[in-house]
Amino acid sequence: MRIRTDGDYAYRRTAIERAADFYDCNKTKAVVSACDDVPHFVRAARQVLARDDLTLEQRREIAETLSTRAVSFEIETEIVTATEE
């Protein structure tokens, strides 16, 4: 598999090199490691955001902190009022 890093895709080279530095490995292993880790991190973030001991404001702050260019977390609330006739 080849990943284009020319022209408009130059940011990819930087991202891959950052991953290689983070994981302290070559670029191929860094890409594979990041791809393996992302679903686990997203699942963990969703679990944290679903905790009932956090306030709405805390959830929103955590969601903003954990959001990235590729993954965005948003907190929505729904208030439903029903009346009997």
Domain extents in the chain: 7-66
Contact 37, 30 (CB under 8 A): no
- Tens-digit pLDDT string for the chain (85 aa): 889 999 999 999 999 999 999 999 999 999 999 999 999 999 999 999 999 999 999 999 999 999 998 899 999 887 776 778 7
Would you state the pLDDT for residue 81? Answer: 67
Q: Where are the alpha helices (DSSP H) in the chain?
A: 10-23, 27-49, 56-66
Would you state the pLDDT for residue 80? Answer: 73
